[in-house]
Amino acid sequence: MATIVEDSAHVPAAITALMADYVHAIDDDRLEDWPDFFTDPCIYRIATRDNEERGLPASLVWCDSRAMLLDRVVSVRHANVFEPHRYRHMVSAIRVLAREGTEHRVHSNYLVTRTMRDGTMAVFSTGAYRDVIVVGDEGARFRERVVVCDHGMINNLIAIPI
Amino acid sequence: MPETDTLIDWPEEGVARAPYAVFSDPDVYAAEMRRIFRGPVWHYLGLEAELPEPGDYRLIDVGDTPVIVLRNSDGGLNALVNRCAHKGTMLLFEPFGRVDRLMCIYHNWAYDLEGCLKSVPFAKGINGKGGMPETFDMAANGLDRLRVESLGGIIFGTFSDATPPIEIYIGERLMANYRRMTSRPFKVLGYYSQHLDSNWKLYFENASDPYHATILHAWATRLKLNRFTMEGAIEMSERGWHHLSWSKMATDQHGEVYETEAFRSGGDDFDAFGLHDASVIEQWDEFGDGITTAIQTAFPNFVLQQIHNAIATRYLVPRGPEGSELVWTVLGYADDDEEQTRIRLKQGNLIGPSGYISLEDGMVGSLVQKGIEGDKDKSSVMEMAGRSIETIVNSRASECGVRGFWTAYRELMGV
């Protein structure tokens, strides 16, 4: 039975560290490190707010193993072509909503800017992370990370994970 | 008949060329909205499955025009321009919903589900003073309507009385695949769209162009999901306006050309590129005919897609001369079991803005848009398999699909 956490603003250090390490790895272009932030098996989805609210299951990205995450990275590096760009993530309002043993249900907000090689920068995505985070002796890992984009319209493409 | 003027000087090579000016000229864009989008073409308006009950509606943009598609109280389908006859206000703005009438928020003019004007507040004035004149004709102030036809669960609309019935429009040759993919009721799995920094025709050329598919999309080519060396074909509709490209992945012969010719999409080294979790391409023979990819277009802006078990519709909304929105509806069939739904959702990784296969399609149009900006007097070259819209038996090494698009375009634009 999950415990509803009364002081949801109190976030264990291992969780804030995971959230920060995750976005730094992506923003620093260390995508090869990205699958290691997850347990195996795991869930990683990029969904839209409209679909989630209407109970429609289709997602932009749908992975349920660390190997599938790795395949995303391999494809970004070796198969897919697109105009080079980098992200910068801002994560805020982290709240631990419930806890069951080592599992924490955590919600937060995110904003991602995308900067192209010609210097053009724009807000690319904003939304919420809906996470299930396992905290163990070796730190914290995502058992589940659902990226719920506020926007159903994507500017061109999403190659790099959010 | 379309107007004729000197809007564009088309090169003498005909549909084997497309003048760059058509991808950015505002006058061309304005003419397209009149001659094509208001002309004798059918537009995708949505799915019967989206409107199960009377009063259910969805919104959609048909070119620059906002449209309400709804199921009326008799169970029929109406498509009404989403614009009050009074001041031009949009009547509805939630993309999906249910209504029993259409009432404008501005002055509460109210219409029934047929688009007939039923009431105007203060029409008789206050104490007999003011109000609408005797000459005001309620019947003449209804909502503008589109003709509607529904075929295989897909709803189409047209602004023109001259558009032939939808089955004739698609044509008997391409109706075979259309029936193949619409023989069971659809189930909607979700929606998303892409804003593209490119003229609408650049995406639609791409969707009509199998030549790029196994070269640009290295992911599917390296995994041998789609190669020109597989059994497959391009089929053209009778007038050449629409195309179908299909292939069977189990039939690859001499696919090594992708490696020996050193295409970017080649590469047999599975240590460098292979799947660590192959469940993403777990699949079943959807229609029992071995066809694993089928992309069917309907001029000017509709795509019906089978990529393995990833079924979707796509339609394109022009957003000014140098922008467009590509809208995806991800589908299954109503009789899918849980396992089939799971496989479709996983194959969702192949399509859309993050699709292993599809993500390059929107991007490449913006590269063209930037590339052609400084030379509006030049043209693109499309001579793969000649200059006509004839198909080549057992070969997809042809740009006839794109030339077919330009055939329809020139006919309707009168250029």
Nearest CA in chain A to B223: A79
Q: How many CB atoms lie within 10 A of CB B131?
A: 14
Gap from A7 CA to chain B (nearest CA, Å): 36
Give B114's DSSP letter.
T
Tokens 């190659």: give the residue: A159
Residue B226 phi, psi dihedral angles, 5° rounding: -150, 120
Amino acid identity at B98 = R
The domain limits of chain B are: 43-150, 172-413
Give B255's DSSP letter.
T
pLDDT over 70, % of chain A:
99
Residues 63-92 of A with CB under 8 A from B: 63-65, 67-68, 70-71, 74-75, 78-83
CA distance B90 to B87: 9
CA distance B142 to B7: 35
pLDDT for the residue numbered A138 = 86
Task: Kindly determine whether residue A74 and residue B273, on different chains, have CB atoms separated by under 8 Å.
Answer: yes
pLDDT for the residue numbered B229 = 87
Query: Which two structure tokens, joined as six digits, stand for B183?
Result: 């023989």
**Among residues B203, B196, B101, which one has the least CA distance to residue B143?**
B101
Residue A98 phi, psi dihedral angles, 5° rounding: -155, 155
Residue B273: pLDDT band with limits 50, 70, 90: low
Q: What is the mean pLDDT of chain B?
A: 94
Summarize the confidence of residues B117-122 as an average pLDDT: 98
Superfamily grouping for domain B43-150? Rieske [2Fe-2S] iron-sulphur domain (2.102.10.10)
CA distance A72 to B270: 15
The better pLDDT of the pair B346, A6 is held by B346
Output B361-364 pairs: Cβ under 8 A, ≥24 positions apart.
Answer: B361/B203, B361/B206, B361/B207, B361/B216, B362/A156, B362/A157, B362/B194, B362/B196, B362/B198, B362/B203, B362/B326, B363/A81, B363/A82, B363/A83, B363/A156, B363/A157, B364/B206, B364/B212, B364/B216
**Among residues B168, B318, B182, which one has the least CA distance to residue B241?**
B168
Question: Three-class SS of residue B117?
Answer: strand
pLDDT for the residue numbered B270 = 46
The domain limits of chain A are: 3-149
Asked if residue B329 has pLDDT above 80, the reply is yes
Gap from A107 CA to chain B (nearest CA, Å): 23
CA distance B159 to B63: 11
Strand bridging mode A153-155 / B186-196: parallel
Fold classification of A3-149 is Nuclear Transport Factor 2; Chain: A, (3.10.450)
Gap from B204 CA to chain A (nearest CA, Å): 15
Query: Which two structure tokens, joined as six digits, stand for B330?
Result: 């991800």
**Among residues A86, A88, A103, A95, which one has the least CA distance to residue A128?**
A95
Residue A100: pLDDT band with limits 50, 70, 90: very high
Query: Which two structure tokens, joined as six digits, stand for B190?
Result: 């979700």
- pTM for this one? 0.95
pLDDT over 70, % of chain B:
97
- A153 contacts on B by Cβ (under 8 Å): 192-195, 325
ipTM of this model? 0.96
Give B406's DSSP letter.
H
pLDDT for the residue numbered B1 = 46
Q: At what angle do helices B400-413 and B200-207 cross, to 10 degrees?
A: 140
Residue B153 phi, psi dihedral angles, 5° rounding: 85, 0
pLDDT tens digit string along B24-52? 999 999 999 999 999 999 999 999 999 99
CB B33 within 8 A of CB B395: no
pLDDT for the residue numbered B268 = 53
pLDDT for the residue numbered B44 = 98
Nearest CA in chain B to A159: B354
Task: Kindly determine whether residue B348 and residue A60, on different chains, have CB atoms separated by under 8 Å.
Answer: yes
Query: Which two structure tokens, joined as six digits, stand for B411?
Result: 């006919």
Residue B14: pLDDT band with limits 50, 70, 90: very high
Second CATH level (architecture) for the domain B172-413: Alpha-Beta Complex (3.90)
Amino acid identity at B92 = L
